[in-house]
């Protein structure tokens, strides 16, 4: 199968998107074959979608497997399609009577919405750093992620389509079930929305790249901005925790942004918002001076919790939500050792402090935000010290002249009271972002993780 390259991402409707017609699906291929015996994939796909009856979960799995083997020679992560078949069986006959015709319709619209057959790769030489798509264009791409008709981007081999949710034996079945439910809920919104409303809505994907010497936060004389430490029972993808209507929310991303098979904060945010999923096709791994900003992606369900304890409910339709204003800030934190090593706490390495505060400042300065909502960024699997990380986020928010709201779930209850103590101490002695950065840089490297709070409070005389 033809792969995409760094300059552009090939779509299945491109004449350059080629494969072997392994099952002789199209007739008279001689005129279509290139010297290597490959043919354009689009005639194969259109023939499959138009002529193959799909009325049962097994028939759907067989179609998807035909597509996968045609393109890649195997079913890949989809395996036996056991989980997908089980999920779809719970939706019969609605899936085949309502959703499947819509999926086919969107899939076949691809050449209409993307006549060039190519998407720009964000940040690639000669391309834009922003891609704006209409609501219907976005749905087209999401449907092709469901059908697994796409090729892997040049920088990743997996987690670019939804085949990871299809095999039996998912390690987090509840998460995959919720993500597939979000997908169908998202598609269902097109059944009751006028074309005019669809045209008025857009999703934008912007790769924000700062200059290589971006180090303004450490010397910023900006006054410390308002900060709020909030304790909630559970994290949610509800408007109140997403910064709506005039703020933004931090997505604790990996360098390779996107969705997955479990329930990390990033995966929950993206899985609940199918319109954000095409970002994986056009976003190379984030550099230290880059963040991805996605605007306009609706969280179609409110997913509550993280990891093993997640549930999903419909968004509150009584409260009007302007999803066009929803902003996701994809920021990757450094992966740090949980415990101090022989050379000291990794959080306190000067270049690490600079990298993290600049990463946050790049994100927070990407727009005019009334408030930034953030979890304890980089403090879970990445092992960051929560007191250092929150102080860095506070510095970045101050430099960006925006308020900061740190949201903690009940598992971090003890951290909340300690953070409140830190905020009170800082407010009593320090004035600017530069002052707070100076305090962080003065913490001895041999300070143990979680002992940074006591050191800072004592240094401030509180």
Place of tokens 């936060």: 217
In-domain check, residue 343 = yes
> pLDDT value at position 242?
96
> pLDDT value at position 127?
58
116 and 264 in one domain? no
Q: How far is CA 292 from CA 101, 204, 363, 373, 400, in A?
A: 33, 10, 8, 16, 17
Count of structural domains within the chain: 2
In-domain check, residue 52 = yes
In-domain check, residue 3 = no
353 and 259 in one domain? yes
96 and 132 in one domain? yes
Nearest Cα to Cα of residue 163 among 40, 90, 61: 61
In-domain check, residue 193 = yes
- Name the token pair of 224: 């410390």
107 and 248 in one domain? no
Handedness of CA 172, 88, 146, 203 (dihedral sign): negative
In-domain check, residue 1 = no
Exposed / middle / buried, residue 210 (Cβ in 10 Å: 0-12, 13-18, 19+): buried
Helix (H) or strand (E) holding 354: helix 350-364
Which of 200, 235, 270 is the endpoint of a domain? 200
> pLDDT value at position 197?
53
CB atoms within 10 A of CB 151: 22
In-domain check, residue 192 = yes
Which of 145, 177, 200 is the endpoint of a domain? 200
pLDDT in tens, 171-228: 999 999 999 999 999 999 998 765 555 556 899 999 999 876 566 676 688 999 999 9
Place of tokens 């008709």: 149
Q: Report phi then psi at 209, rounded to 5.
A: -120, 120
For residues 115 and 241, give the distance between their C-alpha atoms in angstroms, rounded to a whole number.
38
> pLDDT value at position 125?
67
> pLDDT value at position 411?
85
Q: Which residues pair with 311 in a beta bridge?
A: 304
The SS3 of residue 323 is helix
CATH number for the domain that contains residue 251: 3.40.220.10
Helix (H) or strand (E) holding 9: strand 8-10
136 and 253 in one domain? no
In-domain check, residue 141 = yes
pLDDT in tens, 72-94: 999 999 999 999 999 999 999 99
293 and 278 in one domain? yes
381 and 324 in one domain? yes
For residues 256 and 72, give the distance between their C-alpha atoms in angstroms, rounded to a whole number.
22
Q: Is the CB of residue 61 less than 8 Å from the CB of residue 13?
A: no
In-domain check, residue 415 = yes
DSSP state of 43: H
288 and 175 in one domain? no
Maximum distance among all Cα pairs of the chain, rounded to whole angstroms: 83
Q: How far is CA 421 from CA 89, 107, 426, 441, 457, in A?
A: 52, 54, 9, 20, 8
The SS3 of residue 308 is coil
260 and 134 in one domain? no
The SS3 of residue 402 is coil
Which of 169, 200, 231 is the endpoint of a domain? 200
118-120/8-10 β-pairing: antiparallel
Nearest Cα to Cα of residue 276 among 326, 208, 209, 331: 326
196 and 255 in one domain? no
161 and 211 in one domain? no
Of the chain, the end-to-end C-alpha distance in Å amounts to: 64
> pLDDT value at position 37?
87
403 and 269 in one domain? yes
DSSP string, 118-156: EEEPTT-TTS-SEEEEEHHHHHHHHHHHHHT-PPPPTT-
Listed as ranges, residues in the chain with pLDDT below 50 are: 338, 340
- 151: containing domain: 8-200
């Amino acid at each position: 199968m033809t792969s995409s390259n760094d300059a552009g991402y090939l779509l299945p409707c491109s004449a350059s998107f080629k494969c072997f017609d392994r099952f002789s699906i199209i007739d008279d291929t001689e005129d279509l074959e290139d010297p290597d015996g490959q043919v354009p994939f689009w005639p194969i796909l259109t023939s499959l979608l138009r002529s193959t009856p799909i009325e049962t979960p097994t028939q759907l799995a067989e179609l998807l497997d035909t597509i996968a083997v045609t393109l890649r020679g195997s079913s890949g992560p989809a395996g036996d399609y056991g989980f997908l078949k089980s999920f779809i069986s719970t939706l019969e006959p609605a899936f085949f009577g309502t959703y499947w015709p819509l999926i086919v319709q969107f899939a076949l619209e691809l050449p209409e919405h993307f006549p060039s057959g190519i998407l720009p790769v964000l940040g690639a030489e000669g391309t834009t750093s922003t891609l704006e798509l209409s609501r219907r264009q976005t749905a087209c791409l999401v449907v092709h992620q469901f059908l697994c008709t796409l090729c892997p981007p040049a920088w990743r081999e997996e987690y670019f389509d939804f085949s990871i949710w299809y095999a039996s034996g998912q390690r987090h079945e509840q998460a995959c079930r919720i993500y597939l439910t979000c997908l169908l809920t998202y598609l269902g919104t097109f059944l009751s929305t006028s074309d005019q409303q669809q045209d008025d809505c857009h999703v934008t994907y912007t790769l924000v790249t700062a200059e290589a010497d971006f180090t303004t936060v450490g010397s910023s004389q900006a006054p410390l901005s308002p900060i709020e430490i909030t304790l909630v029972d559970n994290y949610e993808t509800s408007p109140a925790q997403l910064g709506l209507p005039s703020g933004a929310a931090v997505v604790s991303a990996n360098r390779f942004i996107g969705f997955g098979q479990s329930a990390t904060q990033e995966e929950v945010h993206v899985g609940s918002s199918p319109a954000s999923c095409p970002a994986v096709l056009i976003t190379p791994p984030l550099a230290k001076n880059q963040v991805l900003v996605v605007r306009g992606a609706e969280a179609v369900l409110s997913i509550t919790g993280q990891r093993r304890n997640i549930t999903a409910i419909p968004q509150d339709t009584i409260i009007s939500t302007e999803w066009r204003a929803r902003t996701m800030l994809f920021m990757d934190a450094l992966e740090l050792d949980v415990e101090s090593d022989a050379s000291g706490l990794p959080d306190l390495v000067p270049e690490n402090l600079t990298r993290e505060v600049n990463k946050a400042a790049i994100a927070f300065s990407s727009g005019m935000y009334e408030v930034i909502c953030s979890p304890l960024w980089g403090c879970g699997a990445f092992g960051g010290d929560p007191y250092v990380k929150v102080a860095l986020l506070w510095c970045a928010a101050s430099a960006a002249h925006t308020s900061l709201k740190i949201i903690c779930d009940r598992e971090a209850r003890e951290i909340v009271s300690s953070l409140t103590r830190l905020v009170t101490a800082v407010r009593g002695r320090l004035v600017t972002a530069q002052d707070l950065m100076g305090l962080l840089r003065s913490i001895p490297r041999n300070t143990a993780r979680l002992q940074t709070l006591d050191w800072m409070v004592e240094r401030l005389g509180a």
